[in-house]
Structure 1
Amino acid sequence: MNLSAATPEATEASFAGTMTAKLKEQFDAGLLSGQELRPDFTIAQPVHRYTETDHAIWRKLYDRQASMLQGRVCDEFLQGLVTLGMERDRVPEFDQLNEMLMRATGWQIVAVPGLVPDEVFFEHLANRRFPASWWMRKPEQLDYLQEPDCFHDVFGHVPLLINPVFADYMEAYGKGGLKAARLGALDMLARLYWYTVEFGLIRTPQGLRIFGAGIVSSQGESIYSLDSASPNRIGFDLKRIMRTRYRIDTFQKTYFVIDSFEQLFDATGPDFTPLYPELAALPTLGAGDIVAGDQVIHAGNREGWADSDDI
């Protein structure tokens, strides 16, 4: 997914080159070879192409994360993992997961080779389809890779789609994304996705817990996000988040904390159309900034923060 365009014209102009290069890269890597790429950028999950190494990596990552997330991840995620009956020994077949997912919330997983166009991504979400990369990371990428693989997409994202409120939020986000693409506001909406769906924390009676998939699927960030004194932890504020840049190359400088999934859904329910010009007139904030009005749960000590630019 590419959410960096500033205007519809820029989106269209840059997209063709980006997608052509990305699809060529995916083809050269064998991610498309011998498979039909449908108009919606989905493919049939090529289950036959998973190797014993792929299954071993899935098993190692699953065991590591499932064990360490106890007491760290929100109960809704753990319940989703149990309800789905997700396999730990091998890469799951999407069709099997979809049987339970469809019964629970009407969502389904669709296989994609990797990057898909913005509007295709939003169209899938708006129709309760979650695009998941089919391929598994390599052994040398166990702890970090630049693009989301099957483990990140399936283990990290899918369990929460069992939760009715979060499932509704994701559908609403997809519909909002289609509108934002027409209004040239994808950069602002991308920040909302990043700081909630990917790197969100939630307040519970037991303390802060993880719900973002980018944290859930990362051993290092599962520890860092809750235990490190380095990052800021700030209460959820929709407008604040949509003005805040983020990190793609390091752990986050700031995590935003919701009180509940209901709060998240209610805050993002109204039409964002009048919000975009209001936010565009305000300065964009750095990933590590703390500003007046923030509900500061923890002010980070900034130790180890990278000097490279925020996105």
Structure 2
Amino acid sequence: MSRANEHRVEAGGRLDEPCARRRKEIAEAIRRAGGINSHPVTHNAEEDLLWGAMVAKLNALHPRVASSRYLQAKERLPLPVSHTPRIDDLGRRLDNLTGFRLLPVDGLAPAGDFYGRFADDVFSTTMYLRCPGRPHYSPEPDMLHELVGHVVMLADPLFADLYRLFGKAANNATSEQDLQAISQVFWFTMETGLVQEDGRPKAYGAALLSSSGELAKIGTCSVEKFSIQEMIKSDYDISTYQGKLFIAQSVDEMADEVRSFLTRA
């Protein structure tokens, strides 16, 4: 299933009943009391334990597999391990770093809305966690994906500027085809991008960096040379581990190519 037309698509089968019920509770709390840099949800002890276990596992993996740019961003915006973060606190800290703020959302957002908010320095974040039965990978964007992946990236000025450009390009798109191309490039860069460092592929994409299962599978993927045109033509499936990734020789090379594409889009 593609995220070309809708960034946040439920995939991977039905949720179990307790997980679905909890997501409904969280959505209702956000609808009642949400807003930019708000914290409308109180997470329970089970959710804190799941968050802590997965963040600790990712923290152990990142020094070996994450790009240096991402690791530096983690130092700028450290996330707690003992409990789920407060969105209001995290949003204020992020705002001080790069001007981005966080908007808790109660459900899946169409691509135009999700990307378009970047132009206003707003990142939309879910507040539910992946189901405990599948902790190492989530086919839909959960709180681990949003915060460990995207929000940490947004603490870096270069990545923050790229997100803004994606937002402006999405807002200026005049057809579904144009928006689909923007979404494809976002997927193969900001979600699943690799960069060459120290003679090895290192991850900078949020979907990779927030999934211990995905990180463990990088060595089995087909890795292709960075190409915007190939990204636009390539299929992908968000309901399973990725089969194709694109690698840039440096973050600067990636950023230059993405800027050139988005200013033409």
Q: Please state which band the TM-score falls in when normalised by the shorter chain.
A: 0.7 to 0.9
Deviation at residue 206 of structure 1 after TM alignment: 4.6
Q: What's the Cα RMSD here? A: 2.7
* Aligned pair partner of 2:152 in 152, 159, 169: 159
- Mapped partners of 1:31, 1:58: distance in 2: 16
Q: Which residue of 1 aligns with 2:12?
A: none
Residue 47 of structure 1 pairs with residue 37 of structure 2: no
| Cα gap change, 1:26 to 1:189, in 2 (>3 Å) | farther
Deviation at residue 153 of structure 1 after TM alignment: 0.5
| Cα gap change, 1:181 to 1:94, in 2 (>3 Å) | farther
Q: Which residue of 1 aligns with 2:223?
A: 233
Residue 33 of structure 1 pairs with residue 34 of structure 2: no
Residue 175 of structure 1 pairs with residue 165 of structure 2: no
- Mapped partners of 1:247, 1:119: distance in 2: 20
Deviation at residue 251 of structure 1 after TM alignment: 1.7
User: Would you say the 8 A contact 2:29–2:41 is kept in 1?
Assistant: no
| Cα gap change, 1:134 to 1:28, in 2 (>3 Å) | closer
User: Would you say the 8 A contact 2:35–2:103 is kept in 1?
Assistant: no
Q: Which residue of 2 aligns with 1:308?
A: none
- Mapped partners of 2:29, 2:92: distance in 1: 27
| Unmatched 5+ stretches in structure 2 | 7-19
Q: Secondary structure at the match of 1:29?
A: helix
TM-score of the pair, normalised by structure 1: 0.73
| Cα gap change, 1:58 to 1:26, in 2 (>3 Å) | same
| Unmatched 5+ stretches in structure 1 | 6-10, 12-24, 276-311
Q: Which residue of 2 aligns with 1:264?
A: 254
Deviation at residue 58 of structure 1 after TM alignment: 0.4
- Mapped partners of 1:34, 1:221: distance in 2: 31
**AA at the equivalent of 2:74:** L
Q: Which residue of 2 aligns with 1:253?
A: 243
Q: Which residue of 1 aligns with 2:196?
A: 203
Residue 119 of structure 1 pairs with residue 98 of structure 2: no
**AA at the equivalent of 1:160:** M
Structure richer in helix, relative to its length: 2
Deviation at residue 211 of structure 1 after TM alignment: 0.9
| Cα gap change, 1:258 to 1:28, in 2 (>3 Å) | closer
Query: Among the aligned pairs, what percent are the same residue?
Result: 23
Deviation at residue 56 of structure 1 after TM alignment: 0.4
**AA at the equivalent of 2:24:** A
- Mapped partners of 1:31, 1:79: distance in 2: 32
Q: Secondary structure at the match of 1:36?
A: helix
Deviation at residue 140 of structure 1 after TM alignment: 1.1
* Aligned pair partner of 1:80 in 73, 77, 87: 73
Higher gyration radius (CA): 1
Q: Secondary structure at the match of 1:202?
A: strand
TM-score of the pair, normalised by structure 2: 0.84
Greater length-normalized contact order (CA 8 Å, ≥ 6 residues apart): 2
Deviation at residue 3 of structure 1 after TM alignment: 4.3
- Mapped partners of 2:3, 2:238: distance in 1: 13
Q: Deviations over 1:186-210 (max 9, x none)?
A: 2222211111111110111352101
| Cα gap change, 1:250 to 1:51, in 2 (>3 Å) | same
Deviation at residue 183 of structure 1 after TM alignment: 5.4
**Of 55-64 and 214-223, the range deviating more from structure 2:** 214-223
| Cα gap change, 1:273 to 1:124, in 2 (>3 Å) | closer
Q: Secondary structure at the match of 2:63?
A: coil
User: Would you say the 8 A contact 1:45–1:134 is kept in 2?
Assistant: no
Deviation at residue 33 of structure 1 after TM alignment: 2.2
User: Would you say the 8 A contact 1:201–1:209 is kept in 2?
Assistant: yes
User: Would you say the 8 A contact 2:27–2:107 is kept in 1?
Assistant: no
Q: What does 1:144-155 correspond to in 2, within 5 Å?
A: 144-155=137-148
Q: Which residue of 2 aligns with 1:17?
A: none
